[in-house]
Amino acid sequence: MENRRFYITTPIYYPSDKLHIGHTYCTVATDAMARYKRLTGCEVMFLTGTDEHGQKIEDKAREVGVTPQQFVDSIVQGDRGILDLWKLMNISNDRFIRTTDDYHVSAIQKIFKKMHDNGDIYKGKYVGKYCKPCESFWTDSQLVDGKCPDCGREVQDAEEEAYFFKLSKYADKIQHLLEDTDFLEPRSRVNEMVNNFIKPGLEDLCVSRTSFTWGIPVDFDPGHVVYVWVDALSNYITALGYDNDRYDDYSKFWPADVHFVGKEIVRFHSIIWPAMLMSLGEPLPKKVFGHGWLLLDGGKMSKSKGNVVDPYILAEMFGVDALRFFLLRTFPFGSDGNFSNEALIQTINVDLANDLGNLLSRTVSMVGKYFGGQLPAEQAEDPDKDSELVDMVSSLRGRYEEQMEKFAFQNGLAEIFKVIDRANKYIDENAPWVLAKDMETNGPRLACVMYNLLEVLRVCAILLTPFIPTSAAEVLRQIGACEKCSTWESAGQWAVLPKTVAVVRGENLFPRIDADKALKELDEAAEAAKKAALPDLEIEPQLEEKVDFDTFCKSDFRAVKVKDCQPVKKSEKLLRFTLDDGTGTDRQILSGIAKWYKPEELIGKTLMAIVNLPPRKMMGQESCGMLISAVHTEKGEEQLNLLILDDKIPAGAKMC
Ligand code: MSP
């Protein structure tokens, strides 16, 4: 009998920054798979969560002056945080694990101890390289041009007392698992793993650190924290209740049916994770699927490149379903794909607005117009004209299922849209508006044409549910499909709607997008988001280099009174000051502050100037000294304030 349970996971996300559209990709795919499996009648466990330990988080928290726990809390639970994002994207996860959850922490300590006690974890000294952003250890031979082979960034020397996991012991078994079974897909990723990691010789893995504290303590050796990947990978079993009392589903759902993971973390999931499970004596997950990346202009999305795409902005502009649909319709799941706003708009306009949206609105409005919203029972079939469409729809579920079982979302959707396309042609072939001219003769035929179109919409909407849950439910509502007509079972059958079905007119599901306008708005929104992400206030760091007192005393700071202030011709920046410096002779200083001050507002003010700088010519005029001001950056813009002194300070007074 078919296994009616299905356990699927996403990687648990690092809450080190806000998530971007690339992160959303895997979670949306996992959600579509989980919904598909539920639709087919499986009992599904869909797990996602956050991976909250490690040096990177500790460093980031320090940078912003909060504790690591406060830092991760704000990114996970805060406004527009990870939980908000999954809610927005309509993600139907059954469980959410945080690796800082107590039950997980104590389970990891037990897992670590088990592997220690069975001799697979031993103490040694770690000498190698560490990539902080990736939280990965590398041996010299694994580096590419001396840099991290995953992200290409600089690595650091690392040497410390550490525990090691006997990964080498499992090399043969892992090689067999990868080469001789379907454990890892797509197949292309197998060669990469075997050639790059196993054949050069699997080395034991450093699994504890002592140089930072934000991790799960090794309870039998204080000072050591568990390597973040050992902590993170185990989430897939602790979230089911392995070695803890918080949950009790381990025997029900383990082994997982599939771990969906991005291609750069396939190594951890297809080598380290199975080895850990072998050491623990637990069954291995049935499959690891390494999906491709969403790229931007052919390159990686990253905060440092400033090119990350905000899923909130896209979902707000185009709708959650449209965004979910685009991600899975456009890119083959196993390969990389280039994300662009143009492609997003194009997919929405072609597939959703033109093809699906039009089919729905034309059909529902014709049933309204020609039959007052409810079809008559008398309907005339015409096999010559109907059978191709009917056959296509009747066999659609099978073709779709075949693709979905392979995680080929794009192909599954392509099957649906072939049918939608065919149905739009069917309207033109049968020209309902011509039939409607003579309802007495053609009424039954017209009713049958309408019925067939409603059936197409019914089956397609059921199969689209995993991708666009809200819109698919709305399609089913508008075509009058009851619950029984909306099941997986019924998606494999033709003529399930009652003949006298009544439609419900509703909103246009997918309005056409004006591409030029939308692209402009997106640019503006991205610009505004970039600005909003800038720190409110940026103060230049203090200089490390010391200046001796005698050198300092050589600078002659004086109070000066502004007798006159004028703009300098042909200069947008400069103001020319005539100053009383207490000597009896006027002093002229030019200052580049026109952006912040109007000349007239400064007349009469007492300012601070350094008066023993050598004279300098600017725009052909001499400047003897410099006015002192305070500068800082606010929301990315430089701000300047002159030091304006108390008026009772006389001109010429020395500042010291
Ligand atoms: N914390 C680890 C996973 C631990 S699983 C036991 C991690 N977190 S992550 O937040 O950096 O990445 C989470 C997932 O997002 C990874 O699978 C990664 O491949 C995926 N993506 C990040 N950027 C991506 C794209 N631009 N495109 C597609 N997926 C990408 O790794």
383-408 pLDDT tens trace:
999 999 999 999 999 999 999 999 99
Q: Give the ligand 1 atom nearest the CA of 263.
A: 19
Most informative mutation of 23, 55, 148, 227 for ligand 1 (most atoms within 8 A of CB): 23
| pTM recorded for the entire structure | 0.82
Sort 305 into a burial class: Cβ within 10 Å, 0-12 / 13-18 / 19+. exposed
Q: What is the rounded distance in angstroms from the CA atom of residue 337 to the CA atom of residue 623?
A: 58
Q: How far is the CA of 13 from the centre of ligand 1 (A)?
A: 6
> pLDDT (tens digit, 9 = 90+) per residue, 445-503?
999 999 999 999 999 999 999 999 999 999 999 999 999 999 999 999 999 999 999 99
Nearest CA among 265, 401, 263 for reference residue 335? 263
Average pLDDT, the chain: 94
Is residue 226 located within the same domain as residue 92? yes
Q: What is the rounded distance in angstroms from the CA atom of residue 260 to the CA atom of residue 238?
A: 18
pLDDT of residue 158: 82
- Overall average pLDDT of the 308-329 stretch: 93
Distances in Å between the Cα of 643 and the Cα atoms of 414, 537, 579, 582, 606 are 67, 19, 15, 18, 9
Q: How far is the CA of 81 from the centre of ligand 1 (A)?
A: 16
pLDDT of residue 2: 55
Q: Whose CA is nearest to atom 26 of ligand 1?
A: 22
- Which positions ≥6 away from 325 have C-beta within 8 Å? 347, 348, 351, 352, 413, 467, 468
Share of the chain above pLDDT 90, in %: 82
Q: Whose CA is nearest to atom 24 of ligand 1?
A: 22
Residues 516, 388: contact at Cβ < 8 Å? no
Of 309, 333, 356, the residue at which a domain comes to its end is 309
Which CATH number does the domain housing residue 282 bear?
3.40.50.620
pLDDT of residue 322: 97
Task: List 290's β-bridge partners, or say none.
Answer: 261
Q: Whose CA is nearest to atom 6 of ligand 1?
A: 233
Is residue 295 located within the same domain as residue 440? no
Is residue 598's pLDDT more than 80? yes
Buried b (16+ CB within 10 A) or exposed e, 329-344: bbbebbeebebebeeb
User: Considering its fold, how many domains does the chain have in total?
Assistant: 3
Q: How far is CA 193 from the centre of its chain?
A: 25
The first and second tokens of residue 553, run together, are 């005393």
Is residue 67 located within the same domain as residue 24? yes
pLDDT of residue 303: 66
Of 459, 475, 491, the residue at which a domain comes to its end is 491
Question: Residue 505 falls within a domain, yes or no?
Answer: no
Is residue 413's pLDDT more than 80? yes
Residues 621, 568: contact at Cβ < 8 Å? yes
Task: List 225's β-bridge partners, or say none.
Answer: 209, 217
Is residue 74 located within the same domain as residue 128? yes
Q: How far is the CA of 62 from the centre of ligand 1 (A)?
A: 23
Question: Residue 606 falls within a domain, yes or no?
Answer: yes
Q: How confident is the model at residue 1 (pLDDT cuts 50, 70, 90)?
A: very low
Q: How far is the CA of 166 from the centre of ligand 1 (A)?
A: 26
Q: What is the rounded distance in angstroms from the CA atom of residue 181 to the CA atom of residue 281?
A: 19
Nearest CA among 418, 417, 415, 423 for reference residue 455? 423
Is residue 384 located within the same domain as residue 270? no
Is residue 376 located within the same domain as residue 420? yes
Is residue 255 located within the same domain as residue 110? yes
- Cα torsion angle, 139, 143, 145, 148, sign: negative
Q: How far is the CA of 386 from the centre of ligand 1 (A)?
A: 47
Question: Residue 25 falls within a domain, yes or no?
Answer: yes
- Domain of 460 in residue numbering reads as 341-491
Task: Please give the DSSP secondary-structure letter assigned to residue 217.
Answer: B
> pLDDT (tens digit, 9 = 90+) per residue, 46-80?
999 999 999 899 989 998 899 999 999 999 999 99
Question: Residue 542 falls within a domain, yes or no?
Answer: no
> pLDDT (tens digit, 9 = 90+) per residue, 611-644?
999 999 999 999 999 999 999 887 778 889 999 9
Q: How far is the CA of 185 from the centre of ligand 1 (A)?
A: 17
pLDDT of residue 306: 63
Which CATH number does the domain housing residue 374 bear?
1.10.730.10
> pLDDT (tens digit, 9 = 90+) per residue, 425-435?
999 999 999 99
Query: Which alpha helices (H) appear in 167-249, and where do they start and end?
Result: 171-180, 188-193, 228-233, 235-238
Q: Whose CA is nearest to atom 15 of ligand 1?
A: 23
> pLDDT (tens digit, 9 = 90+) per residue, 558-591?
999 999 999 999 999 999 999 999 999 999 999 9
Is residue 48 located within the same domain as residue 98? yes
Nearest CA among 613, 525, 597, 543 for reference residue 565? 597
Q: How confident is the model at residue 305 (pLDDT cuts 50, 70, 90)?
A: low
- Overall average pLDDT of the 520-533 stretch: 80
Of 309, 329, 363, the residue at which a domain comes to its end is 309
Nearest CA among 655, 648, 431, 451 for reference residue 561? 648
- Overall average pLDDT of the 183-200 stretch: 94
The first and second tokens of residue 387, run together, are 């059978």
Q: Whose CA is nearest to atom 19 of ligand 1?
A: 262
Cβ < 6 A, ligand 1 pocket: 11-14, 22-23, 25-26, 51, 232-233, 235, 261-262, 264-265, 293-294, 301
Residues 47, 239: contact at Cβ < 8 Å? yes
- Which positions ≥6 away from 348 have C-beta within 8 Å? 318, 322, 325, 326, 510, 513
Question: Residue 27 falls within a domain, yes or no?
Answer: yes
Between 1 and 50, residue with greater pLDDT: 50
Which CATH number does the domain housing residue 630 bear?
2.40.50.140
Task: List 97's β-bridge partners, or say none.
Answer: 49
Sort 491 into a burial class: Cβ within 10 Å, 0-12 / 13-18 / 19+. buried
Nearest CA among 652, 357, 607, 401 for reference residue 506? 357
The first and second tokens of residue 190, run together, are 């197998």
Is residue 263 located within the same domain as residue 376? no
Residues 479, 496: contact at Cβ < 8 Å? no
Question: Residue 500 falls within a domain, yes or no?
Answer: no
Q: Whose CA is nearest to atom 17 of ligand 1?
A: 262
Question: Residue 497 falls within a domain, yes or no?
Answer: no
Is residue 10 located within the same domain as residue 90? yes
Question: Residue 50 falls within a domain, yes or no?
Answer: yes
* H-run or E-run covering 241: none
Is residue 103 located within the same domain as residue 47? yes
Q: Whose CA is nearest to atom 16 of ligand 1?
A: 262
> pLDDT (tens digit, 9 = 90+) per residue, 143-166?
888 898 888 889 988 888 899 999
Q: What is the rounded distance in angstroms from the CA atom of residue 129 to the CA atom of residue 137?
A: 6
Task: Please give the DSSP secondary-structure letter assigned to residue 214.
Answer: -
Is residue 452 located within the same domain as residue 557? no
pLDDT of residue 528: 79
Q: Whose CA is nearest to atom 12 of ligand 1?
A: 13
